[in-house]
Amino acid sequence: MTKVAVVLSGSGFLDGAEIQESVITLLTLDQAGVAYQCMAPDMEQMHVVNHLTGEVSEGEQRNVLVEAARIARTAVIDIALANPNDYDAVIFPGGYGAAKNLSDFAVKGAESSVQEDVLQFSRAFASTGKPMGFVCIAPAMIPHIYGADASLTIGSDADTANAITEMGGIHINCPVEDFIVDEARKIVSTPAYMLDVRISEAATGIEKLVQKVLEMIHGK
């Protein structure tokens, strides 16, 4: 049976995984009859943000894996213990957690790096030649995982696109309802909430990304 790894970065778009992007991803996989395994690094978040006010909650700390369990309904594993060979594809939903916890792109931009356990799993999976999907800001990790000249999108934000270009990625502007494919590397990316859109618009692009990733599993 086809099985997809979904890598979460906490819970809540300002300091973790974007909940709507994550749920749409999981729902689309389930509707396609595909099994999935949620996973996240067992680490402390960069910080905790009050999602009512948008302000950092000084002195508060949360664990990325524990927070990811809120979305996964407890069915989540430590990515350090995950075996890339157990999965046919990997998808990274967005949210600032991808740029604050899975990587430090939100702080360091072009000088960023990817969290060690996430990078080890992702590079090992990429080496298998199987497809990976990246949503929202998560594509900013692609140059670290695949090296230079990988094609991707984060939508159309010029500053973010310039940072990705400086990292060696090839950024392509993309509307919310579409996606970009790097055929050679089997990478699919879509902007989702990198753009100011409605949930239905974000869902269209995410659903298309998931379907494309599943097609690529079977060589289409």
* pLDDT digits 0-9 by tens, 80-107: 999 999 999 999 999 999 999 999 999 9
CB 193 within 8 A of CB 202: yes
Calpha distance 171→149 (Å, rounded)? 9
Instruction: Summarize the confidence of residues 149-155 as an average pLDDT.
Output: 98
Q: Which residues are catalytic?
A: 136
Instruction: Report the amino acid identity of residue 94.
Output: G
Q: Reply yes or no on whether the pLDDT at 214 is more than 80.
A: yes
Q: Which fold has domain 3-217?
A: Rossmann fold (3.40.50)
CB 147 within 8 A of CB 153: no
Q: pLDDT band for position 219 (50/70/90)? A: confident
Instruction: Summarize the confidence of residues 54-73 as an average pLDDT.
Output: 96
Instruction: Summarize the confidence of residues 65-73 as an average pLDDT.
Output: 97
| Per-residue DSSP letter, 12 | S
Structure-token pair, residue 187: 């990478």
* Dihedral pair phi/psi, residue 172, rounded to 5°: -125, 120
Q: pLDDT band for position 139 (50/70/90)? A: very high
Q: Reply yes or no on whether the pLDDT at 108 is more than 80.
A: yes
Bridge partner list, 78: 40
How far, rounded to the nearest angstrom, does the alpha carbon of residue 121 sit from its chain's CA centroid? 13
Q: Reply yes or no on whether the pLDDT at 74 is more than 90.
A: no
How high is the pLDDT of residue 171? 98
Kindly list the domain boundaries of the chain, sorted by start residue: 3-217
Cα 26 to Cα 49, 104, 155, 156, 217: the distances in Å are: 24, 25, 22, 25, 17
> What dihedral do alpha carbons 52, 53, 55, 60 form, nearest 10°?
-40
Calpha distance 136→17 (Å, rounded)? 10
- Angle made by CA atoms 74, 95, 53, in degrees to the nearest 5: 95
